[in-house]
Amino acid sequence: MEKTLYTVIVFSENRPGLLNQVSIIFSRRQLNIESLTVSASSIEGVHKFTITVYTDEEEIDKVVKQIEKRIDVLKAYYYTDDEVIYQEVALYKVDTESILESDEIEQLVRKYNARFLEITRTFSVIEMTGHTDEIKELYYALDKFGVKQYVRSGRIAITKSTSELLSKFLSEREEEAKG
Amino acid sequence: MSQSQISGSQALMRAFVAEGVETIFGYPGGAIMPVYDALYDFHDKMRHILVRHEQGAVHAAQGYSRVTGKTGVVIVTSGPAATNVITGVADAMIDSTPMVVVCGQVVASLLATDAFQETDVVGITQPITKWSYQIRSAAEIPWAVARAFYIAREGRPGPVVLDLTKNAQIELMNFHYEPCTFIRSFIPTPPIDEQTVSDAAALINQAKKPFALVGQGVILGNAEDELLAMLEKAQIPAAWTLLGLSAMPTDHPLNKGMLGMHGNYGCNIKTNECDVLIAIGMRFDDRVTSKLATYAKQAKIIHFDIDIAEINKNVKADVAVLGNSKETIAAVTKQLQPARHDEWISSFDSYAKIEYDEVIKEEVDPSTPDIKMGEVISKVSEATGHKAICVTDVGQNQMMGARYFKFSQTRSMVTSGGLGTMGFGLPAAIGAKIGAPHRTVCLFCGDGGIQMTIQELGTILQENIGVKIIVLNNHFLGMVRQWQEMFFDERYSFTNMKNPDFVAVAKAYGINGKCVSTHEELDHAIAEMVSNDDPYLLEVRIEPKGMVLPMVPAGADITDVRLK
Ligand SMILES: Cc1ncc(C[n+]2csc(CCOP(=O)(O)OP(=O)(O)O)c2C)c(N)n1
Ligand SMILES: [Mg+2]
């Protein structure tokens, strides 16, 4: 079946062991997690997982139901790329000398809307935010001058939908708690 | 008014009392000793059953829960005791049995140091529990215990493990208990969607050949009456899964028998002939469906379940009715028109007749001197007026128990369905008898399976639990042998068993018994066995190479029923 990159967004209570509970649902199905970002969400006490994975719709639907079934998970959703605004950040470490030798690196930084984060006598760090392929492109371009280190973050994403599903869920649950 | 402080262990006991716990199955050890010390003062409020192996505690709690509907409670120590409960916890998870298991744990300051008898219990149990939580301080106990019982019981039930550090058992705290009634992140029962109710009713109303599949969800939802009302109003023939057994009486005219690998001939054939398949509280296990690609493709599928994750998991539903079965079945029934499907219902008969002639007749009333399993089971069922609780182990004994025991009341079948755990039977029977002391509890087990938890005879000895143990001794790991005969060229690789004198073993534990090998001896021994409420072990030497038939080979079409 056709595989698509899905972005799974999970909101959970802030309890230890949640990451394990979520990740074993993927590993049990031999689904490789492409990227994973875990952090506090904008709502106090609520944790957010952003996971990307290649699979088909039938499978991702089952995965998300199983995730949501975990007691401490508040809500889990899945999206295709056209339903979210998403971004990754990458850092590239190059010799400062190679920047000084020509203006090619500076040109690349301008072209890719990247920026210099740090410049020391020996090395410099370039930062870029964007989508995976752009970030990789810049890497290959810079690597002609020798990239000493290169790191890429997991994806973070914001949905395009007009209603904020989690806030709605939480306020509904608050009502139900009152009786 | 200032409250006097109590220890975490005492808090645990008080929390149990507040949750209505009457019976605890357990086994003590170093990391749970403060709890056992507190239990000493509560022995008049709660009965503690000292098992002989922690696996026995969990299976006993499962047996107790299955017959009572209450949450089973287990207490064990840390490390090896916690790992010994794993099989039962996994079994309770896959069979949706509510259970709270408290494991002792090393003191919090020693966690993650590989301390003596430390295991990562939460890490191990996360995938096989509804919830697994480590309690590190006494103050957390009331909150965690209240949550544990709520989670285990509500919605689709299942096991919860509490990993209780030793310091939390000892620390002092102010006790205040409030039962849990709400967890923000957990919606146990999805609200009923009226649209799905009317869609389901519309499908059933226009059905010419409706067929209902009854799973354990009917029993867990206490929806037996609602089920019968629905089936009778619209005249829908029904078949059950292994765990749905006893949800409706065996002799009800709409009860057509069991589904699946060793199910009844007609039920499997009709699955692929019906026009509307109504699955109620069942999860389309592969032992029920066999090959999915050819399963009920002609039918519209209605799936009643409380667990949304079961919808479209194995079989795609045309209509999914989410909610508690008691409410959803009643809601759909209200919108059903009375109907008759006489011809469709009687179309099961010809298959039943073929199955009777080719399989059942000889199985329950053999023409040869050898005793057969089906014969033993139907005779015991008869002798108990079909009112007993049937507990089985796993293997041929289990499938035969399911096929030939008859039921007149619900919550009467206790068996390990999803996990198929050999060794489940004896401890589960103990738990069942404790949960239903006024009923007869008959355990059917194999010569192999009973030896996996045979030490629980000691529990029977100590507590004098009147379980009727029927060992169906074929001197084989019979079910595996059957597969070897059918699919592995009769190469009987390590499946024959040299067995001990089971009656002598029972005797050593003070349990009466008999070993029989003729039809006549069998009749007498059964009569003796059911003449009182004492524990009894009946070893029946049965034909060594019996077969459970009919059989749908694993992975074949569900209609590929082999009668020979
Ligand atoms: C713990 C465990 N180990 C192995 C099996 C595989 N198994 C399934 S049935 C069976 C044979 C059971 O033999 P016995 O208890 O004598 O029962 P019979 O089939 O002869 O009635 C085995 C080994 C299992 N289900 N559970
Ligand atoms: Mg055997």
Q: Dihedral sign, CA of B229, B234, B237, B238?
A: negative
Of B122, B185, B313, the CB nearest to A13: B185
Confidence band (pLDDT; 50, 70, 90) for A162?
confident
B1-29 core/surface letters (b: 16 or more CB in 10 A; e: else): eeeeebbbbbbbbbbbebbebebbbbbbb
Strands of B512-516's sheet, edge to edge?
A: B413-414, B389-392, B441-446, B467-473, B536-541, B512-516
User: What percent of chain B has a predicted confidence (pLDDT) above 90?
Assistant: 99
Q: What is the pLDDT of residues B150-177, one digit of tens each?
A: 999 999 999 999 999 999 999 999 999 9
> Does B114 lie in the same domain as B43?
yes
Q: CA–CA separation, B423 vs A145, rounded Å? A: 67
Query: Are residues B469 and B426 in contact, defined by beta-carbon separation less than 8 angstroms?
Result: yes
**Of B349, B382, B397, which marks where a domain is finished?**
B349
Query: Are residues B276 and B300 in contact, defined by beta-carbon separation less than 8 angstroms?
Result: yes
Q: CA–CA separation, A142 vs A137, rounded Å? A: 9
Chain A residues with CB-CB distance to B123 below 8 A: 17, 20
Instruction: Please tell me the residue having the least CA distance from ligand 1 atom 1.
Output: B422
DSSP 3-state helix, strand, coil percentages of chain A (rounded to 5)? 35, 40, 25
**DSSP category for residue B360:** I
Contact B185 A24 (CB under 8 A): no
Q: What is the pLDDT of residues A90-139, one digit of tens each?
A: 999 999 999 999 899 999 999 999 999 999 999 999 999 999 999 999 99
Q: Dihedral sign, CA of B294, B296, B302, B308?
A: negative
> Does B204 lie in the same domain as B162?
no
CA of B471: how far to CAs of A179, B282, B330, in Å?
Answer: 53, 30, 41
Query: Which domains, from first to last, does chain A contain?
Result: 4-84 (3.30.70.260), 85-152 (3.30.70.1150)
Q: What is the pLDDT of residues B392-445, one digit of tens each?
A: 999 999 999 999 999 999 999 999 999 999 999 999 999 999 999 999 999 999
> Does B519 lie in the same domain as B378?
yes
* B393 backbone φψ class: left, alpha, beta (φ>0; ψ -120 to 50): beta
Tell which atom from ligand 1 comes closest to the C-alpha of B449: 15
Q: Model's pTM, two decimal places? A: 0.96
User: Tell me, what CATH number does B90's domain have?
Assistant: 3.40.50.970
**Of B144, B174, B204, which marks where a domain is finished?**
B174
Q: Is residue B560 part of a domain?
A: no
> Does B150 lie in the same domain as B27?
yes
Count of CB atoms situated within 10 Å of the CB of B336 = 17
Tell which atom from ligand 1 comes closest to the C-alpha of B478: 20
Instruction: Please tell me the residue having the least CA distance from ligand 1 atom 13.
Output: B477
Q: CA–CA separation, B501 vs B519, rounded Å? A: 20
Among candidates B418, B416, B409, B405, which has minimal Cα distance to B373? B405
Burial class (CB in 10 A: 0-12, 13-18, 19+), B153: buried
Q: Is residue B364 part of a domain?
A: no
> Does B319 lie in the same domain as B227?
yes
Which of B479, B548, B551 is the best mutation target for the ligand 1 pocket, counting ligand atoms within 8 Å of the beta carbon and taking the most?
B479
SS3 per residue for B473-506: ECCECHHHHHHHHHHCCCCCCCCECCCCCHHHHH
> Is A1 a residue whose pLDDT tops 90?
no
> Does B462 lie in the same domain as B343?
no
> Does B383 lie in the same domain as B425?
yes
Amino acid of residue B551: M
> Does B155 lie in the same domain as B14?
yes
Query: Are residues B106 and B115 in contact, defined by beta-carbon separation less than 8 angstroms?
Result: yes
Catalytic residue among B116, B298, B334, B486: B116
Ligand 1 neighbourhood includes B395 CB (under 6 angstroms): yes
Q: CA–CA separation, B65 vs B258, rounded Å? A: 23
Q: Which of residues 78-117 of A touch B (CB under 8 A)?
A: none
Asked if A49 reaches chain B (Cβ–Cβ under 8 Å), the answer is no
> Is B105 a residue whose pLDDT tops 80?
yes
Confidence band (pLDDT; 50, 70, 90) for A164?
confident
Q: Is residue B108 part of a domain?
A: yes
Q: What is the pLDDT of residues A30-78, one digit of tens each?
A: 999 999 999 999 899 999 999 999 999 999 999 999 999 999 999 999 9
Q: Number of folded domains in chain B?
A: 3
Taking the CA of B398 as reference, the closest ligand is 1
> Is B66 a residue whose pLDDT tops 50?
yes
Q: What is the pLDDT of residues B299-348, one digit of tens each?
A: 999 999 999 999 999 999 999 999 999 999 999 999 999 999 999 999 99
Q: Is residue B232 part of a domain?
A: yes
> Does B264 lie in the same domain as B391?
no
Q: What is the pLDDT of residues B288-300, one digit of tens each?
A: 999 999 999 999 9
**Mean pLDDT of the B450-460 span:** 98
**DSSP category for residue B103:** E
**Of B349, B384, B402, which marks where a domain is finished?**
B349
Q: Is residue B552 part of a domain?
A: no
> Does B376 lie in the same domain as B241?
no
> Is B1 a residue whose pLDDT tops 60?
no
Asked if A164 reaches chain B (Cβ–Cβ under 8 Å), the answer is no
Query: Are residues B58 and B101 in contact, defined by beta-carbon separation less than 8 angstroms?
Result: yes
In DSSP terms, B126 is beta-bridged to none
Contact A12 B184 (CB under 8 A): no
Q: Is residue B248 part of a domain?
A: yes
**Mean pLDDT of the A138-164 span:** 94
Alpha helix (H) ranges present in A94-131?
96-101, 104-111
Say if residue B550 is preceded by a cis peptide, omega within 30 of 0.
Answer: yes
Closest CA–CA distance from residue A15 to any residue of chain B (Å)? 10
Q: Which residue of A has its CA nearest to B135?
A: A16
- Phi and psi of A102, rounded to 5°? -145, 180
**DSSP category for residue B358:** I
Q: Is residue B474 part of a domain?
A: yes
Q: Is residue B514 part of a domain?
A: yes
Alpha helix (H) ranges present in B106-193?
121-125, 141-153, 166-170
B111-144 core/surface letters (b: 16 or more CB in 10 A; e: else): beeeeebbbebbebbbebbbbbbbbbebbbbbbb
Q: How far is the CA of B62 from the centre of ligand 1 (A)?
A: 19
Which of B394, B443, B485 is the best mutation target for the ligand 1 pocket, counting ligand atoms within 8 Å of the beta carbon and taking the most?
B394
Closest CA–CA distance from residue A177 to any residue of chain B (Å)? 7
pLDDT value of position B3: 63
Question: 3-class DSSP state for residue A12?
Answer: strand
Q: CA–CA separation, B236 vs B279, rounded Å? A: 12
> Does B229 lie in the same domain as B110?
no
The domain in which residue B38 lies consists of 5-174
> Does B385 lie in the same domain as B310?
no
Burial class (CB in 10 A: 0-12, 13-18, 19+), B564: exposed
User: Tell me, what CATH number does B213's domain have?
Assistant: 3.40.50.1220
> Is B2 a residue whose pLDDT tops 80?
no
Is B313 a catalytic site residue?
A: no
